[in-house]
Amino acid sequence: MAAALGALALLSAAACGTGAEPTASEGIQTTQQATPPEDRLNTDATVNVRLTLEPTSLNTFTTAGTALDQLLLDNVYQGLVTLDTEAGDRIVPALATAWEQSPDGLTYTFHLAPNARFHDGSPLTAEDAVWSLRQQLGASKSVKAEGFSSVAEVSAPDPATVRITLKERDTLLLWQLTQRGGIVYKRGTDFAGLDGAENGSGPFALTQWNRGASITLTRRADYWGVKPKVAKVVFHYIKEPNSANNAQLTGQTDIQVSADATLLQPFLGTDKFTVLRGTTTDKFTLAFNGTRAPFTNPDVRHAIRKAIDKQAVIKAYGSAAAIGSAVAPQDPWYEDLTGIDSYDPESARKLLAAAGFGTGLKLTLDVPNIYPVGITDVLVSDLKQVGVELTVRQLEFPAWLSKVFTDRDFQLSLVDHAEARDLDTYTKPGYYFGYDAPQVRGWYTEARRAASDADRDALLKQLARRLSEDAAADWLFLMRTNTVVRAGVYGVPHAETSNRFDLSRLAVGK
């Protein structure tokens, strides 16, 4: 199917715990200690990082899933521009040192860094960028091609200049260029070979993949930009949170990304570790199969949403916030929509009765087996209170991909939609939850073509509200991420770490 799975990244495994979330006063921080001067750093250091979900492939062109972006964006591959997630998703230079937009909004001109090179030593030129972006156009097989549908042509007026000409205004183009679709490859790259080899332009090269265990990135001594402050980074894929805790406590890892919020106590109140709290775009989404009864009836969808106590789900998870929509708070079009279909079991029972299920309803929930069972326990309990018998089926992630995402063989599904700014998924009737609203598609198109960012933001806010009013899905919570850092390690990313994990600031003290 054409819809990409870039929205999905899976972050926490089943765990035991109290559900209580430690407060900032108990030792969780939102900023990290400043990095020492260079003469006090160990620039030969290897840093070991715990991640959760391993990529299924390293083919950045055709493989969906943010696990691949988390590993490779900014580190191995680069685009013309990138995001500074630690500065509120600010768009900043990468391969392009500067850019301009024409007054009519139809032309973007980018100026390349003069000394950029690929890992094979060849110079990176405007022709490489033009070739790469053209691979996203037309009937492309790229998982990110749809984000470039507004592009009419890409050209290179000279070896250091890239010009993108649009068919129509696109207020989201710069954002798309910061994502995987904006990667600049060497002209003529064989995408089929990317799973076994890479030729990026970033500060690190991919040097080893022990499938099922770890991936190693090694500093490029000849990197054209600012040199990394560490020699090597090893990403260890550890799904089970108690095992991840043990690895951090025993020194097997220096950084634990997405630490279980209910298991943080060993890292608090000690000078051996720092726990960093960060924002995310991870929306834990309860999807309805909108192409099948009973979910074709909006009363059923609204009833299920009203039956679920989001605060109880958040307590079971341990570190999250209610949002009521498919939009993360850091997006300009965010609006708190938790008041729509708020917790109201009595109203849920009435809606189910009106839909013909006053005597009960049996439903099945398919969920990847890496989430805390406490979440599904709450769902089972809450739905039982309104007459819905919920059977939970835990699946290995590949099985979930096949059964739910590809074949759409499900009633209810729970998964973490981690990709940023992914409202476009609700404009695709062929996407796995089958939501089909022509007006929503129209608003999204208008938002891309809007005359200003303010107009775009107003349209997308309207769109997000409609999704909630339609009960297109239920958004249980937005995850907050906890990153555990060993003392003496600096410059650790801790915002939106599911989408990218930029190693450029990482450092280790002597």
CATH of domain 79-182: 3.90.76.10
Quote the CA–CA distance of 112 and 124 in Å, as a whole number.
Answer: 9
Average pLDDT in the 269-284 region? 94
Give residue 27's pLDDT. 76
Quote the CA–CA distance of 101 and 112 in Å, as a whole number.
Answer: 15
pTM of the model as a whole: 0.86
Average pLDDT in the 213-232 region? 97
**For 459-476, how does the pLDDT look when each residue is reduced to its tens digit (9 = 90+)?**
999 999 999 999 999 999
Q: What band does 16 get if pLDDT is binned at 50, 70 and 90?
A: very low
Comparison of pLDDT for 184 and 499, the residue scoring more: 184
| pLDDT above 80 (res 289) | yes
Write phi, then psi, for 508 (nearest 5 degrees): -130, 130
| pLDDT above 90 (res 452) | yes
Assigned token pair, 156 = 């290179």
Mark out the alpha helices in 321-426 (DSSP H runs).
345-354, 373-384, 397-400
Give residue 196's pLDDT. 82
Give residue 26's pLDDT. 62
Q: Where are the beta strands (DSSP E) in 121-168?
A: 151-158, 161-166
Give residue 470's pLDDT. 98
Give residue 6's pLDDT. 38
Give residue 2's pLDDT. 30
Quote the CA–CA distance of 289 and 295 in Å, as a whole number.
Answer: 6
Under 8 Å between Cβ of 249 and 487: no
**For 52-109, how does the pLDDT look when each residue is reduced to its tens digit (9 = 90+)?**
989 989 999 999 888 999 999 999 999 999 999 888 899 999 999 999 999 999 999 9
Give residue 30's pLDDT. 83
| pLDDT above 70 (res 192) | yes
Q: What band does 398 get if pLDDT is binned at 50, 70 and 90?
A: confident
Q: What band does 12 get if pLDDT is binned at 50, 70 and 90?
A: very low
Quote the CA–CA distance of 335 and 48 in Å, as a whole number.
Answer: 38
DSSP state of 401: I
| pLDDT above 60 (res 4) | no
∠ CA 423-424-427, nearest 5°, is 110
CB atoms within 10 A of CB 373: 17
Q: What band does 397 get if pLDDT is binned at 50, 70 and 90?
A: confident
Give residue 112's pLDDT. 98
Give residue 346's pLDDT. 98
Average pLDDT in the 152-165 region? 97
| pLDDT above 60 (res 18) | no
* Domain extents in the chain: 35-52+202-272+487-508, 79-182, 280-480
User: How confident is the prediction for the chain on average, in pLDDT?
Assistant: 93
CATH-assigned architecture of domain 280-480 = Roll (3.10)
CATH-assigned architecture of domain 35-52+202-272+487-508 = 3-Layer(aba) Sandwich (3.40)
Q: Which of 166, 27, 73, 148 is nearest to 496 (CA)?
A: 73
DSSP state of 138: S
Under 8 Å between Cβ of 474 and 308: yes
Tell me, rounded to whole angstroms, the distance of Cα 313 from its chain centroid: 21
CB atoms within 10 A of CB 88: 10
Mark out the alpha helices in 412-452 (DSSP H runs).
438-449
Residues 6+ apart with CB under 8 A from 103: none
Q: Which of 105, 112, 98, 224 is nearest to 161 (CA)?
A: 112
22 preceded by a cis bond (ω within 30 of 0): no
CB atoms within 10 A of CB 168: 12
The share of the chain scoring above pLDDT 70, in percent, equals 95
Question: What are the C-alpha distances in Å from 402 to residues 239, 395, 507?
Answer: 20, 10, 40
Give residue 43's pLDDT. 97
Quote the CA–CA distance of 464 and 470 in Å, as a whole number.
Answer: 10
